[in-house]
Amino acid sequence: MEQDKPFKVSIIVAAYNSQDTIEECLKSILAQHYPADFFEVIVMDGGSKDSTVKLSQKFPIKVVSIRLNAPAAYNYAMKIAAYPVLGFIDADAKVEVEWLNKVTPHLADPKVAGVSGSIETWNAENPWAKSIGYELKNRYSRIGKYTGRIATMNLLLKKGVIEEAGGWDEQLPSQYDTDLGFRISAKGYRIAYEPSAVCYHFNRPTLKAYYRQQLQYGKNTLKLYFKHGRLAKGDEITDVGMNIQPVLLLAIVASFLLGIVPALRLLWAASGLILLATTVYFIYSAVKIAVKFHDSTALRLFVLYFVRSVAWFVGAVTTTMRYLSRRGK
Protein backbone atom coordinates (compact mmCIF):
# COMPACT_ATOMS: atom_id res chain seq x y z
CA MET A 1 0.00 0.00 0.00
CA GLU A 2 1.50 3.33 -1.08
CA GLN A 3 0.77 6.63 0.60
CA ASP A 4 0.01 9.90 -1.18
CA LYS A 5 2.61 12.04 0.59
CA PRO A 6 6.26 11.36 1.46
CA PHE A 7 7.02 9.95 4.88
CA LYS A 8 8.11 12.49 7.47
CA VAL A 9 11.56 11.58 8.78
CA SER A 10 13.68 12.70 11.73
CA ILE A 11 17.30 11.93 10.82
CA ILE A 12 19.53 11.36 13.84
CA VAL A 13 23.32 11.64 13.66
CA ALA A 14 25.20 10.36 16.71
CA ALA A 15 28.59 12.09 16.84
CA TYR A 16 31.68 12.13 19.03
CA ASN A 17 34.90 13.91 18.04
CA SER A 18 33.72 13.80 14.43
CA GLN A 19 35.09 17.13 13.18
CA ASP A 20 36.79 15.55 10.16
CA THR A 21 33.56 14.18 8.67
CA ILE A 22 30.55 15.89 10.29
CA GLU A 23 30.31 18.75 7.77
CA GLU A 24 30.23 16.49 4.71
CA CYS A 25 27.81 14.19 6.51
CA LEU A 26 25.34 17.00 7.24
CA LYS A 27 25.74 18.59 3.80
CA SER A 28 24.78 15.28 2.19
CA ILE A 29 21.67 14.97 4.35
CA LEU A 30 20.50 18.53 3.79
CA ALA A 31 21.11 18.16 0.03
CA GLN A 32 18.51 15.38 -0.25
CA HIS A 33 16.07 15.69 -3.16
CA TYR A 34 13.22 15.40 -0.67
CA PRO A 35 10.67 17.99 0.51
CA ALA A 36 12.49 20.13 3.07
CA ASP A 37 9.46 20.32 5.36
CA PHE A 38 9.20 16.52 5.47
CA PHE A 39 12.47 15.85 7.28
CA GLU A 40 14.53 17.26 10.12
CA VAL A 41 18.08 16.60 11.30
CA ILE A 42 19.16 16.08 14.90
CA VAL A 43 22.83 15.81 15.85
CA MET A 44 23.34 14.00 19.15
CA ASP A 45 26.86 14.91 20.30
CA GLY A 46 28.33 12.71 23.03
CA GLY A 47 30.49 15.42 24.58
CA SER A 48 33.04 15.98 21.83
CA LYS A 49 36.30 17.68 22.75
CA ASP A 50 36.95 18.91 19.20
CA SER A 51 34.98 21.21 16.87
CA THR A 52 32.11 18.80 16.16
CA VAL A 53 29.44 20.90 17.92
CA LYS A 54 30.69 24.21 16.52
CA LEU A 55 30.71 22.84 12.97
CA SER A 56 27.26 21.26 13.38
CA GLN A 57 25.76 24.52 14.63
CA LYS A 58 26.54 26.13 11.27
CA PHE A 59 23.64 24.18 9.77
CA PRO A 60 19.86 24.71 10.19
CA ILE A 61 19.43 21.64 12.41
CA LYS A 62 18.96 20.65 16.06
CA VAL A 63 22.19 20.04 17.97
CA VAL A 64 22.09 18.38 21.38
CA SER A 65 25.34 17.94 23.31
CA ILE A 66 25.02 15.46 26.16
CA ARG A 67 27.44 12.79 27.37
CA LEU A 68 25.65 9.61 26.31
CA ASN A 69 26.70 6.53 24.37
CA ALA A 70 25.09 5.98 20.96
CA PRO A 71 22.09 3.83 22.02
CA ALA A 72 21.31 6.17 24.92
CA ALA A 73 21.56 9.12 22.53
CA TYR A 74 19.13 7.42 20.16
CA ASN A 75 16.65 6.81 23.00
CA TYR A 76 16.95 10.48 23.97
CA ALA A 77 16.52 11.65 20.39
CA MET A 78 13.39 9.53 19.98
CA LYS A 79 11.72 11.66 22.66
CA ILE A 80 12.43 14.96 20.90
CA ALA A 81 12.04 13.77 17.29
CA ALA A 82 9.09 15.42 15.55
CA TYR A 83 8.34 12.67 13.04
CA PRO A 84 7.23 8.99 13.15
CA VAL A 85 10.10 7.66 11.02
CA LEU A 86 13.63 7.87 12.40
CA GLY A 87 16.67 7.95 10.16
CA PHE A 88 20.08 6.96 11.48
CA ILE A 89 23.23 8.06 9.67
CA ASP A 90 26.68 7.77 11.24
CA ALA A 91 28.69 10.95 11.64
CA ASP A 92 31.44 9.37 9.51
CA ALA A 93 29.08 8.62 6.64
CA LYS A 94 27.43 10.57 3.84
CA VAL A 95 24.51 9.64 1.58
CA GLU A 96 23.70 10.27 -2.07
CA VAL A 97 21.07 12.93 -2.85
CA GLU A 98 18.35 10.40 -3.74
CA TRP A 99 18.88 8.29 -0.63
CA LEU A 100 15.62 9.25 1.10
CA ASN A 101 13.61 8.95 -2.12
CA LYS A 102 14.93 5.42 -2.66
CA VAL A 103 14.52 4.02 0.84
CA THR A 104 11.24 5.53 2.10
CA PRO A 105 8.85 3.73 -0.33
CA HIS A 106 9.64 0.40 1.38
CA LEU A 107 8.03 1.70 4.58
CA ALA A 108 4.55 1.51 3.03
CA ASP A 109 4.59 -2.22 3.84
CA PRO A 110 3.22 -2.58 7.41
CA LYS A 111 5.49 -5.57 8.02
CA VAL A 112 8.61 -3.58 7.11
CA ALA A 113 10.07 -1.99 10.23
CA GLY A 114 12.84 -0.21 8.41
CA VAL A 115 15.10 -0.02 5.38
CA SER A 116 18.79 0.45 4.66
CA GLY A 117 20.89 1.28 1.64
CA SER A 118 24.22 -0.16 0.48
CA ILE A 119 27.71 0.90 1.55
CA GLU A 120 30.62 2.25 -0.50
CA THR A 121 33.97 3.52 0.76
CA TRP A 122 34.23 7.30 1.27
CA ASN A 123 38.03 7.42 1.66
CA ALA A 124 38.86 4.87 -1.03
CA GLU A 125 42.22 6.54 -1.70
CA ASN A 126 43.48 4.89 1.51
CA PRO A 127 44.35 1.22 0.83
CA TRP A 128 43.40 0.01 4.32
CA ALA A 129 40.06 1.81 4.17
CA LYS A 130 39.47 0.51 0.66
CA SER A 131 40.17 -3.06 1.75
CA ILE A 132 37.76 -2.76 4.68
CA GLY A 133 35.18 -1.43 2.24
CA TYR A 134 35.57 -4.45 -0.03
CA GLU A 135 34.97 -6.78 2.90
CA LEU A 136 31.84 -4.84 3.92
CA LYS A 137 30.53 -4.89 0.34
CA ASN A 138 31.13 -8.62 0.17
CA ARG A 139 29.18 -9.21 3.37
CA TYR A 140 26.32 -6.93 2.29
CA SER A 141 26.14 -8.70 -1.07
CA ARG A 142 24.79 -11.72 0.81
CA ILE A 143 21.71 -9.77 1.91
CA GLY A 144 18.52 -10.48 -0.03
CA LYS A 145 15.47 -8.24 -0.30
CA TYR A 146 15.02 -8.34 3.47
CA THR A 147 17.22 -8.88 6.52
CA GLY A 148 16.76 -9.29 10.24
CA ARG A 149 19.24 -6.61 11.24
CA ILE A 150 21.60 -4.09 9.73
CA ALA A 151 23.96 -1.35 10.91
CA THR A 152 22.80 2.16 11.82
CA MET A 153 25.34 3.52 9.36
CA ASN A 154 22.39 4.36 7.07
CA LEU A 155 19.03 3.13 8.28
CA LEU A 156 15.39 4.16 8.59
CA LEU A 157 13.21 2.67 11.32
CA LYS A 158 9.60 3.30 12.31
CA LYS A 159 9.57 4.90 15.76
CA GLY A 160 6.55 2.85 16.84
CA VAL A 161 8.31 -0.42 16.06
CA ILE A 162 11.42 0.61 18.02
CA GLU A 163 9.20 1.41 21.00
CA GLU A 164 7.31 -1.87 20.59
CA ALA A 165 10.63 -3.76 20.65
CA GLY A 166 11.71 -1.99 23.85
CA GLY A 167 14.03 0.72 22.53
CA TRP A 168 17.81 0.67 22.27
CA ASP A 169 19.84 -1.29 24.83
CA GLU A 170 22.03 1.32 26.52
CA GLN A 171 24.23 -1.40 28.04
CA LEU A 172 25.65 -2.19 24.58
CA PRO A 173 27.90 0.70 23.44
CA SER A 174 28.29 -1.21 20.16
CA GLN A 175 26.30 -4.08 18.61
CA TYR A 176 23.15 -2.29 19.79
CA ASP A 177 21.84 -2.32 16.21
CA THR A 178 22.21 -6.11 15.98
CA ASP A 179 20.40 -6.47 19.31
CA LEU A 180 17.51 -4.22 18.27
CA GLY A 181 17.24 -5.93 14.88
CA PHE A 182 16.95 -9.30 16.64
CA ARG A 183 14.16 -8.01 18.88
CA ILE A 184 12.36 -6.35 15.96
CA SER A 185 12.51 -9.61 13.99
CA ALA A 186 11.11 -11.46 17.00
CA LYS A 187 8.05 -9.20 16.75
CA GLY A 188 7.42 -10.41 13.19
CA TYR A 189 8.86 -7.41 11.34
CA ARG A 190 11.65 -7.29 8.76
CA ILE A 191 14.11 -4.72 7.46
CA ALA A 192 14.22 -4.04 3.72
CA TYR A 193 17.48 -3.66 1.82
CA GLU A 194 17.69 -1.18 -1.06
CA PRO A 195 21.12 -1.54 -2.73
CA SER A 196 20.52 1.36 -5.13
CA ALA A 197 20.47 3.81 -2.18
CA VAL A 198 24.16 4.44 -1.56
CA CYS A 199 25.88 5.47 1.65
CA TYR A 200 29.60 6.31 1.69
CA HIS A 201 31.38 5.36 4.90
CA PHE A 202 34.73 6.71 6.11
CA ASN A 203 36.47 3.45 7.01
CA ARG A 204 39.32 3.26 9.51
CA PRO A 205 42.48 4.42 7.67
CA THR A 206 45.12 2.71 9.86
CA LEU A 207 45.61 -0.69 11.50
CA LYS A 208 45.70 0.98 14.93
CA ALA A 209 42.36 2.71 14.38
CA TYR A 210 40.85 -0.51 13.02
CA TYR A 211 42.11 -2.48 16.02
CA ARG A 212 40.60 0.01 18.47
CA GLN A 213 37.24 -0.14 16.67
CA GLN A 214 37.21 -3.94 16.57
CA LEU A 215 38.30 -4.14 20.23
CA GLN A 216 35.06 -2.40 21.22
CA TYR A 217 33.12 -4.82 19.03
CA GLY A 218 34.89 -7.72 20.71
CA LYS A 219 33.98 -6.47 24.18
CA ASN A 220 30.31 -6.08 23.33
CA THR A 221 29.85 -9.07 21.01
CA LEU A 222 30.26 -11.41 23.97
CA LYS A 223 27.59 -9.45 25.87
CA LEU A 224 25.34 -9.68 22.81
CA TYR A 225 25.74 -13.44 22.53
CA PHE A 226 25.04 -13.89 26.23
CA LYS A 227 21.80 -12.01 25.62
CA HIS A 228 20.86 -13.71 22.32
CA GLY A 229 22.66 -17.04 22.06
CA ARG A 230 21.24 -17.82 18.63
CA LEU A 231 23.17 -14.93 17.09
CA ALA A 232 26.43 -16.81 17.68
CA LYS A 233 25.43 -19.08 14.78
CA GLY A 234 25.93 -16.10 12.48
CA ASP A 235 23.84 -14.55 9.73
CA GLU A 236 24.37 -13.11 6.26
CA ILE A 237 26.31 -10.10 7.59
CA THR A 238 28.38 -11.74 10.33
CA ASP A 239 28.72 -15.41 9.41
CA VAL A 240 29.80 -18.26 11.66
CA GLY A 241 33.29 -18.11 10.13
CA MET A 242 33.82 -14.65 11.63
CA ASN A 243 32.48 -15.75 14.99
CA ILE A 244 34.79 -18.74 15.35
CA GLN A 245 37.97 -16.81 14.53
CA PRO A 246 38.48 -15.55 18.12
CA VAL A 247 37.78 -19.11 19.33
CA LEU A 248 40.54 -20.41 17.06
CA LEU A 249 42.89 -17.78 18.47
CA LEU A 250 41.96 -18.91 21.98
CA ALA A 251 42.76 -22.50 20.99
CA ILE A 252 46.15 -21.44 19.62
CA VAL A 253 47.07 -19.49 22.76
CA ALA A 254 45.74 -22.16 25.14
CA SER A 255 47.54 -24.98 23.31
CA PHE A 256 50.80 -23.06 23.33
CA LEU A 257 50.61 -22.21 27.04
CA LEU A 258 49.60 -25.73 28.08
CA GLY A 259 52.44 -27.07 25.94
CA ILE A 260 54.92 -25.46 28.33
CA VAL A 261 54.23 -28.43 30.58
CA PRO A 262 56.61 -31.19 29.33
CA ALA A 263 53.93 -33.87 29.45
CA LEU A 264 51.73 -31.74 27.17
CA ARG A 265 54.45 -30.66 24.74
CA LEU A 266 52.54 -32.21 21.80
CA LEU A 267 50.02 -29.37 22.15
CA TRP A 268 52.60 -27.08 20.55
CA ALA A 269 52.13 -29.04 17.35
CA ALA A 270 48.36 -28.63 17.66
CA SER A 271 48.84 -24.91 18.19
CA GLY A 272 50.98 -24.69 15.05
CA LEU A 273 48.47 -26.65 12.97
CA ILE A 274 45.58 -24.42 14.05
CA LEU A 275 47.65 -21.32 13.26
CA LEU A 276 48.53 -22.73 9.84
CA ALA A 277 44.89 -23.57 9.08
CA THR A 278 43.79 -20.10 10.18
CA THR A 279 46.46 -18.47 8.02
CA VAL A 280 45.42 -20.49 4.97
CA TYR A 281 41.78 -19.59 5.57
CA PHE A 282 42.60 -15.87 5.83
CA ILE A 283 44.71 -15.98 2.66
CA TYR A 284 41.95 -17.80 0.79
CA SER A 285 39.30 -15.30 1.97
CA ALA A 286 41.44 -12.30 1.00
CA VAL A 287 42.25 -13.72 -2.44
CA LYS A 288 38.60 -14.57 -3.05
CA ILE A 289 37.51 -10.96 -2.39
CA ALA A 290 40.43 -9.54 -4.41
CA VAL A 291 39.35 -11.66 -7.38
CA LYS A 292 35.70 -10.73 -6.91
CA PHE A 293 36.42 -7.00 -7.04
CA HIS A 294 39.37 -7.25 -9.45
CA ASP A 295 41.65 -5.32 -7.11
CA SER A 296 44.81 -6.62 -5.44
CA THR A 297 44.36 -3.97 -2.74
CA ALA A 298 41.93 -6.37 -1.08
CA LEU A 299 44.81 -8.75 -0.33
CA ARG A 300 45.50 -6.50 2.66
CA LEU A 301 42.48 -8.19 4.20
CA PHE A 302 44.84 -11.02 5.17
CA VAL A 303 46.41 -8.66 7.73
CA LEU A 304 43.08 -7.09 8.70
CA TYR A 305 41.58 -10.50 9.48
CA PHE A 306 44.37 -11.20 11.96
CA VAL A 307 43.99 -7.75 13.51
CA ARG A 308 40.23 -8.24 13.88
CA SER A 309 40.61 -11.71 15.39
CA VAL A 310 43.14 -10.47 17.95
CA ALA A 311 40.92 -7.48 18.81
CA TRP A 312 37.83 -9.65 19.25
CA PHE A 313 39.81 -12.13 21.33
CA VAL A 314 41.24 -9.43 23.62
CA GLY A 315 37.81 -7.78 23.87
CA ALA A 316 36.12 -11.05 24.82
CA VAL A 317 38.80 -11.82 27.44
CA THR A 318 38.45 -8.29 28.87
CA THR A 319 34.67 -8.64 29.16
CA THR A 320 35.01 -12.09 30.76
CA MET A 321 37.56 -10.88 33.32
CA ARG A 322 35.38 -7.91 34.26
CA TYR A 323 32.38 -10.21 34.65
CA LEU A 324 34.30 -12.63 36.88
CA SER A 325 35.71 -9.73 38.88
CA ARG A 326 32.24 -8.35 39.57
CA ARG A 327 30.98 -11.81 40.55
CA GLY A 328 33.92 -12.18 42.92
CA LYS A 329 32.96 -8.96 44.70
Regarding whether 124 and 27 lie in a shared domain, the answer is: yes
Quote the pLDDT of residue 329: 61
The per-residue pLDDT for range 113-141, each reduced to its tens digit, is 999 999 999 999 999 999 999 999 999 99
Q: What's the rounded mean pLDDT across residues 202-208?
A: 97
Looking at every residue in the chain, the average pLDDT score rounds to: 92
Regarding whether 155 and 102 lie in a shared domain, the answer is: yes
Range of the domain at 294: 226-328
pLDDT at 2 over 60: no
Helices (H) and strands (E) in the chain, counts: 11, 9
pLDDT at 84 over 90: yes
Quote the pLDDT of residue 230: 74
pLDDT at 29 over 90: yes
Regarding whether 234 and 189 lie in a shared domain, the answer is: no
34 near 96, Cβ under 8 Å?
no
Q: What's the rounded mean pLDDT across residues 300-317?
A: 92
CA 108 from centre of chain: 26
C-alpha–C-alpha distance, residues 100 and 228, integer Å: 32
Pick from 174, 205, 236: which residue ends a domain? 205
Let me know if residue 212 belongs to a domain.
no
Regarding whether 184 and 93 lie in a shared domain, the answer is: yes
Let me know if residue 215 belongs to a domain.
no
Let me know if residue 3 belongs to a domain.
no
Question: What percentage of the chain carries pLDDT values higher than 90?
Answer: 71
Per-position b or e across 88-113, b if 16+ CB within 10 A of its CB: bbbbbbbbbeebbebbbbbbeeeebb
Quote the pLDDT of residue 257: 85
C-alpha–C-alpha distance, residues 132 and 295, integer Å: 13
Report, in angstroms and rounded to the nearest whole number, the Rg of the chain calculated over CA atoms: 21
Pick from 205, 238, 261: which residue ends a domain? 205
Regarding whether 59 and 183 lie in a shared domain, the answer is: yes
pLDDT at 289 over 80: yes
Let me know if residue 1 belongs to a domain.
no
Question: What percentage of the chain carries pLDDT values higher than 70?
Answer: 97
Pick from 205, 236, 257: which residue ends a domain? 205
Regarding whether 233 and 113 lie in a shared domain, the answer is: no
* Number of independent structural domains in the chain: 2
Q: In DSSP terms, which residues pair with 266 in a beta bridge?
A: none
Residue type, 104: T
Regarding whether 102 and 173 lie in a shared domain, the answer is: yes
DSSP conformation class of 19 = T
Reported confidence tier of residue 1, pLDDT bands at 50, 70, 90: very low
Regarding whether 180 and 269 lie in a shared domain, the answer is: no
Let me know if residue 213 belongs to a domain.
no
C-alpha–C-alpha distance, residues 98 and 245, integer Å: 38
Regarding whether 270 and 138 lie in a shared domain, the answer is: no
Q: What's the rounded mean pLDDT across residues 29-49?
A: 97
Task: Tell which residue, 87, 39, 42, 83, has the closest CA to residue 65.
Answer: 42
The per-residue pLDDT for range 210-269, each reduced to its tens digit, is 999 999 988 887 788 778 777 667 677 777 777 777 778 878 888 888 888 888 888 888
Regarding whether 201 and 242 lie in a shared domain, the answer is: no
| Model confidence pTM above 0.75 | yes
DSSP for 234-257, please give it. --SSS-HHHHHHHHHHHHHHHHHH
Quote the pLDDT of residue 250: 79
**C-alpha torsion sign, points 198, 202, 208, 212:** negative
Let me know if residue 248 belongs to a domain.
yes
Let me know if residue 263 belongs to a domain.
yes
Regarding whether 183 and 242 lie in a shared domain, the answer is: no
Regarding whether 116 and 33 lie in a shared domain, the answer is: yes
Let me know if residue 113 belongs to a domain.
yes
Residue-level length of the chain: 329
Reported confidence tier of residue 270, pLDDT bands at 50, 70, 90: confident
The domain spanning residue 196 has which CATH number?
Answer: 3.90.550.10
Reported confidence tier of residue 81, pLDDT bands at 50, 70, 90: very high
Task: Measure the CA angle with vertex 16, ends 15 and 22; round to 5°.
Answer: 50
The per-residue pLDDT for range 145-177, each reduced to its tens digit, is 999 888 889 999 999 999 999 999 999 988 899
